[in-house]
Structure 1
């Protein structure tokens, strides 16, 4: 009886395997790939305030522009919701942005590319964007990511940690948290917005070290 039971169990397993549907390969590229990294030496609980522009920087091969429509606002609002949920307070007055603990920047790219960066670089924003005589961003850790046709980038820079000034008196700003949501861009704006919004949520979800209570 024991051998018969084992035989029947084996036959049943083979039947189940034979009847199992193949995975839908078209679903493998539906969601955006979310990558996050951070400076492990930073205590994110020490921050309380942040400044974030109302627009999203669109980067291209020739020039940059600003994404300012309702869809851009929806993505900025989603980042604000996540930051507020973690206990951070947004400073909305641009005249006070230099008083914020961190600056949050959103950038959007739509092209095929692979990016490998680390150390000092000029960054997307004007060197004087955050006020004073600060230089561009710099990553205390290597950042490597690739994207097919679209990518939403979120960068958190420590405005309280100014590097040593160079010959021009500028100071560099360390990026303490980085997130990218990249993948296929559909011809449907609603679908793209859903993917980007889910990418924002996933970026914060997998960054459990963020929060004023950490």
Structure 2
């Protein structure tokens, strides 16, 4: 519980930290990297064995919200998507999970996305995942059992969010539980080589500060 509170506090003071730590302005993008994680502390991660992830990473742009079931999201460029997916996959395997195809009824599904907006909206439309999530349909959505996502009023464009869901624990109201959330603020900035390195470092950090995920 302590780390959970600390992480929430860290996000709430992003603006203060950015100004206070760098009175003359930061010299490098990675000086502004902040990793936030939160989770359902009543969830039994150790009872889960398998996971899957998409083959692409979606872009979420608040100016172009989907408004029909045939909506097709935009995707992050392959070089960045590959780094994001590789880092998630490697960490999950190192934690003892086995990757399977989505048709094999995985215990966990991890959904990575990049926000192309300065505001963070956790309750983004289900249509973004209609192309991937098995059995997804109208009226479905997310809920966060045992914890509540942070209320972040401002984030930098390019922030990466990872949501770990339990596809086999659908509620009576057609909601899928998000049991873990990881956010890296403003990651996709700078040149490709630097950004790719930061992706690996910060996603590794998100898993490092989440030891309860270990299988």
Fold-level match, TM-score > 0.5?
yes
TM bucket by the smaller chain?
0.7 to 0.9
Structure 1: 5+ residue runs without aligned partners?
1-21
Mark the CA change 1:128 to 1:71 in structure 2 (over 3 Å): closer, same or farther: closer
* Residues 9-29 of structure 1, C-alpha deviations (whole Å, 9 max, x = no match): xxxxxxxxxxxxx99852585
1:102 corresponds to 2:103: no
Instruction: Say which is worse superposed, 132-141 or 199-208, in terms of deviation.
Output: 132-141
Higher helix share: 2
Work out the CA distance in 1 between the residues paired with 2:64 and 2:136. 28
SS at match of 1:71: helix
Q: Return the offset for 1:68.
A: 5.4
Structure 1 contact 122–135 (Cα < 8 Å) conserved: no
Work out the CA distance in 1 between the residues paired with 2:30 and 2:132. 38
SS at match of 1:40: coil
- Which consecutive segments of 4 or more residues in structure 1 shift more than 3 A? 22-25, 120-124, 184-187
SS at match of 1:193: helix
Give the equivalent residue in structure 2 for 1:54.
55
SS at match of 1:190: helix
TM-score of the two chains, using structure 1 as the length reference: 0.73
Instruction: Say which is worse superposed, 185-194 or 47-56, in terms of deviation.
Output: 185-194
Structure 2 contact 160–186 (Cα < 8 Å) conserved: no
Work out the CA distance in 2 between the residues paired with 1:80 and 1:194. 16
* Residues 135-172 of structure 1, C-alpha deviations (whole Å, 9 max, x = no match): 222122221234122211111001221101x4xxxx21
User: Residue 89 of structure 1: which of 98, 104, 111 is its match?
Assistant: 98
Give the equivalent residue in structure 2 for 1:195.
198
Give the equivalent residue in structure 1 for 2:118.
112
Work out the CA distance in 1 between the residues paired with 2:181 and 2:85. 16
1:125 corresponds to 2:126: no
Mark the CA change 1:76 to 1:24 in structure 2 (over 3 Å): closer, same or farther: same
Which of structures 1 and 2 has the bigger CA Rg?
A: 1
SS at match of 1:161: coil
Instruction: Say which is worse superposed, 139-148 or 42-51, in terms of deviation.
Output: 139-148
Give the equivalent residue in structure 2 for 1:16.
none
Work out the CA distance in 1 between the residues paired with 2:77 and 2:187. 22
Mark the CA change 1:68 to 1:127 in structure 2 (over 3 Å): closer, same or farther: closer
RMSD: 2.7
Mark the CA change 1:139 to 1:67 in structure 2 (over 3 Å): closer, same or farther: same
Mark the CA change 1:30 to 1:137 in structure 2 (over 3 Å): closer, same or farther: same
Give the number of aligned pairs: 180
Work out the CA distance in 2 between the residues paired with 1:121 and 1:66. 15
Structure 2: 5+ residue runs without aligned partners?
1-21, 66-72
TM-score of the two chains, using structure 2 as the length reference: 0.73
Give the equivalent residue in structure 2 for 1:7.
none
Mark the CA change 1:173 to 1:184 in structure 2 (over 3 Å): closer, same or farther: closer
